[in-house]
Amino acid sequence: MPRTFAMIKPDAVQAGNVGNIVAHIQTAGFRIVGMKLVQISLQQAQRFYQVHAQRPFYGELVEFMSSGPSVVLALESENAVQKWRDTIGATDPAEAAEGTIRKLYAESKGRNAVHGSDSDENAAIEIAFFFAGTELVG
């Protein structure tokens, strides 16, 4: 079964929305195969978002991502990557569709509540970045 990588970002953890977002994930039909609370270091955030290193918002992004605890998840379903992107909505909550997680819980384009992988290849890389094999259920 295909997998994707999801993160509940520090803004949503801080706002007390972990439970709401986990419920949304389960209602949407994903099987959670990995989940834990982590405090991401600045260095980890820089590596995780390396692809955006040349973008003007990179410094703000990695500082935000290491500013407080996040919840990381590995999710399984048919078409997991695209299905999770559809469930979270557009990067900017002002452009996110009604009922999507970012529409419901994101504060801004930067503090946008959740992360989702953009390809099967990156999903595998991102799951391995945060989870040991023993932390994922079969």
Query: Count of residues binding ligand IDP (CB under 6 A)?
Result: 10
- Which candidate in 7, 115, 130, 131 is catalytic? 115
Q: Taking CB under 6 A as the rule, which mask of x and - marks residues 94-133 in contact with ligand IDP?
A: ---------------xx-x--x--x---------------
User: How far does Cα 80 stand from its chain's mean position?
Assistant: 13
Shortest distance (Å) from residue 55 CB to ligand IDP: 7
Near ligand IDP in 3-42, by CB under 6 A: none
The catalytic site residues sit at 115
